């Protein structure tokens, strides 16, 4: 292996040494999730994510001693507990900001590179993270999945619902 990256994504230009990694990457653009759990119907873009998920239907629950939240995997509980401890093991070499999750660091680094791999199929606007694209797409679809239990008003973002709920407690 020469280490040359011969497989390039036509959407964002990222290159890969192995074709299968390009295929997996392409799913971030297409939203394709070909691996489906037969127990609950949830779908995944990668086979190993389905494999991890399948354990959730059989394994015992692990509980966070600080807040009582339940987890199906010990590594997920370990990462969750960093919320309570404030432990941030992943520093950005560019600006020094620290993160509790390696995935959040990877996402953050896109800010410095200017890379915006998540593209809206409706208008072509691009974003550095998938959650921002998801929020943006609600502008096109009109979807408002966060509903106030007190008055029934709905919102596109959870933070907007949280802010609204304060109006009921005044």
Number of domains in the chain: 3
Put simply, whether the predicted model's pTM sits higher than 0.75 gets the answer no
Contact between residue 156 and residue 139 where contact means Cβ atoms under 8 Å apart: yes
Residue span of the structural domain in which 148 resides: 122-168
In sequence order, the 6+-apart residues with CB closer than 8 A to the CB of 98 are 88, 89, 90, 91, 92
Residues 100 and 76 in one domain: yes
Per-residue model confidence (pLDDT) at position 136: 93
How far is Cα 136 from Cα 130, in angstroms, rounded to an integer? 10
Residues 80 and 107 in one domain: yes
90 phi and psi angles, rounded to 5 deg: -120, 95
Alpha helices for the chain (secondary structure H): 19-30, 47-54, 74-85, 102-113, 130-141, 158-165
Residues 49 and 16 in one domain: yes
In sequence order, the 6+-apart residues with CB closer than 8 A to the CB of 50 are 35, 36, 37, 44
Residues 53 and 64 in one domain: no
Residues 48 and 100 in one domain: no
Residues 47 and 80 in one domain: no
Residues 33 and 64 in one domain: no
Residues 49 and 64 in one domain: no
- Domain boundary residue among 115, 131, 156? 115
Q: Walk along the chain (170 residues) and give the pLDDT tens digit of each residue.
A: 566 778 898 988 888 888 998 998 898 888 899 999 998 889 998 888 888 888 777 767 788 999 999 887 778 888 888 888 888 888 899 899 998 888 888 888 888 888 888 899 999 999 888 888 999 999 999 999 999 999 999 998 888 999 999 999 87
How far is Cα 114 from Cα 100, in angstroms, rounded to an integer? 22
Per-residue model confidence (pLDDT) at position 153: 94
Q: In this structure, what CATH number is given to the domain that contains residue 32? A: 3.30.160.60
Per-residue model confidence (pLDDT) at position 123: 95
Residues 15 and 53 in one domain: yes
Residues 142 and 107 in one domain: no
| List of long-range contacts for 19-26, beta carbons under 8 Å, 24+ apart | none
Per-residue model confidence (pLDDT) at position 101: 81
Look-up of token digits 């011969």: 6
């Amino acid at each position: 292996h020469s280490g040359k990256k011969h497989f390039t994504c036509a959407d964002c230009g990222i290159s890969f040494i192995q074709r299968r990694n390009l295929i997996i990457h392409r799913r971030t653009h297409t939203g394709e999730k070909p691996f489906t759990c037969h127990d609950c119907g949830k779908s995944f873009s990668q086979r190993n994510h389905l494999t991890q998920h399948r354990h959730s239907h059989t394994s015992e629950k692990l509980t966070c001693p600080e807040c009582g939240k339940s987890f199906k995997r010990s590594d997920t509980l370990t990462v969750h507990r960093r919320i309570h401890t404030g432990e941030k093991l992943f520093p950005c070499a560019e600006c020094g900001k620290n993160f509790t999750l390696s995935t959040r660091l990877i996402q953050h680094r896109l800010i410095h590179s200017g890379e915006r791999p998540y593209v809206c199929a409706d208008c072509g606007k691009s974003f550095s993270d998938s959650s921002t694209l998801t929020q943006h797409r609600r502008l096109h679809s009109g979807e408002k999945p966060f509903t106030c239990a007190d008055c029934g008003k709905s919102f596109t973002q959870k933070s907007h619902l949280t802010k609204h709920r304060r109006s009921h407690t005044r």
